[in-house]
Amino acid sequence: MGVAQCDDLLRGRRCWGAATSDAPLQRTQASPLLVTELEKLHNILEHDEDSWNRLFSGTLLFMIYARARWSDAQHAVKLTFDRADGEIHYVEVLTGHHKTMRALQHRHQFLPLVAPAVGVTGKNWAVMWEKARVDMGLNMQKGQPLLPAPLDNGGLSCRALDSQEAGKWLRALLELEGTDQGDRRVSSHSLKCTMLSYLAKRGIEMSDRLLLGYHTSPFTMGLTYSRDGMARPLQVLQAMLEEIHTGRFRPDCTRSGRLVKLASEPQSKFQCESVDSVVKVESSDDEHSVSAWDLVGSDKQPNLPKVIPVDSDHDLNDACTETSSSEMSGDEQTVPAFESKGTRTFEPPVAPEGYQMWQHSKSKILHLSHYKTPNVFECGRRPGAFHTSQGVNPRWDTGICWKCFKHK
């Protein structure tokens, strides 16, 4: 309110904490589009009489399947339709202005936004989008943006359509009237999160989702020498889109009804550890594997080895021995798959030779100090009143200072 005399009181942490509400708040995020809404966009691109609606719908589908932010795609400098045998398979856009352009992994590089040409309807939307662009006379080589804003007379302007205008146009096409969306919040950012949300619901690994979302990841060296780091993630995305088209995966349903898989159907084209784990069972004949997919929708249960819960007083090897002895009699015994993997042992932290461990009496964090510099930790800090080097007896789960232990 401009009362400068109250600034000292307002900056006080005690007043700030007392005035802050502890009530939990619902996160405000853009909602992913429904499969029915994607089908509606496909239908507009294919059958709508308005050329601007067809052009806009095709651009929306590219943004959705390319998992692209609206502003990133509008800064595109090149558009490529990847063809093989005369048919478009992928659509690629190069952009130099994007959210992670200052990250070390993407610095001074163009970001390729790649979208498969076949979506949830099983039809090639890229062919119709290319035709809509040609009919409107769009050419990015002339300096035009990916989607220019329309003029009053229906012509093309030199200005790119901004994200707020795109959100209003999107809600108008999908007949979502502003405040009548209920709990949903459909905006231009829904275009980026739609496929990423579907992939998460399908149980795809985090590494593939990070690459498909163009986020920085710890796989810098592998991406540098792969020359095409998006090859596998795009195949995973295409397999998921095919499952949506065939009705095997329904992302709009709740967790209990998303996967529809019959035992007679072939195995999925990509494996997901959370839903497609394989249990191997040895028999007197040939070794065979039973997929978790085969148990969905089937009344028959295979003869799998019994799994015994392991607690703190029951060793894993004892569980394996008890399982094998209870399932088979005589010389033949069933060996569970997890027995061959061994167990992992966690040891308490130890000080390397020439170093001494210090521990904070309250936080229990461990530090290291070299014998030549006993008054300075390896992380650069100095021992305080709560640090001690006497009687340090850490456990396997005791916290450590990462900077001290990283190179030692």
| pLDDT tens per residue, range 185-207 | 899 999 999 999 999 999 999 98
Same domain, 177 and 325: no
Show the low-confidence residues of the chain (pLDDT under 70): 97-110, 178-181, 216-221, 262-343, 407-408
Residues of the domain holding 52:
35-243
CATH (domain of 206)? 1.10.443.10
Same domain, 103 and 45: yes
Helices (H), 163-219: 163-173, 190-202, 206-212
Same domain, 70 and 107: yes
Q: What's the confidence (pLDDT) of residue 301? A: 39
What is the SS3 assignment for 345? coil
> What is the torsional sign of CA 78, 156, 174, 70?
positive
Residue 101 lies in a domain: yes
Inter-helix orientation angle 35-47/125-136, to 10°: 50
Same domain, 126 and 197: yes
pTM confidence score? 0.61
Question: Could you tell me which of 87, 382, 39 has the C-alpha nearest to residue 244?
Answer: 39
Question: Could you tell me which of 160, 121, 165 has the C-alpha nearest to residue 138?
Answer: 160
Same domain, 66 and 171: yes
Q: What is the CA 133 to chain-centroid distance, rounded?
A: 31
Among left, alpha and beta (phi > 0; psi -120 to 50; other), residue 175 is left
Q: What's the confidence (pLDDT) of residue 45? A: 96
Same domain, 230 and 352: no
Biggest CA–CA distance in the chain, Å, is: 89
How many domains are there within the chain?
3
Which of 319, 339, 359 is the last residue in one of the domains?
Answer: 339
Q: What's the confidence (pLDDT) of residue 265? A: 60
77 secondary structure, DSSP code: E
Q: What's the confidence (pLDDT) of residue 100? A: 56
Interior angle at CA 303, CA 302 and CA 309, nearest 5: 110
> What values do phi and psi take at 78, rounded to 5?
-155, 140
Q: What's the confidence (pLDDT) of residue 401? A: 92
Q: What's the confidence (pLDDT) of residue 299? A: 41
Same domain, 317 and 235: no
Same domain, 217 and 71: yes
> What values do phi and psi take at 289, rounded to 5?
-125, 145
Q: What's the confidence (pLDDT) of residue 343? A: 66
SS in 3 state form for 215-251? CCCCCHHHHHHHCCCCHHHHHHHHHHHHHHHHCCECC
Q: What's the confidence (pLDDT) of residue 367? A: 93
Residue 291 lies in a domain: no
Residue 269 lies in a domain: no
Q: 101: which residues sit within 8 A by CB, 6+ positions away?
A: 107, 109, 111
Same domain, 227 and 353: no
Same domain, 383 and 311: no
| pLDDT tens per residue, range 274-326 | 334 333 333 334 434 333 334 333 344 334 334 334 444 444 344 334 444 44
Task: Report yes or no: 137 and 68 within 8 Å, Cβ to Cβ.
Answer: no
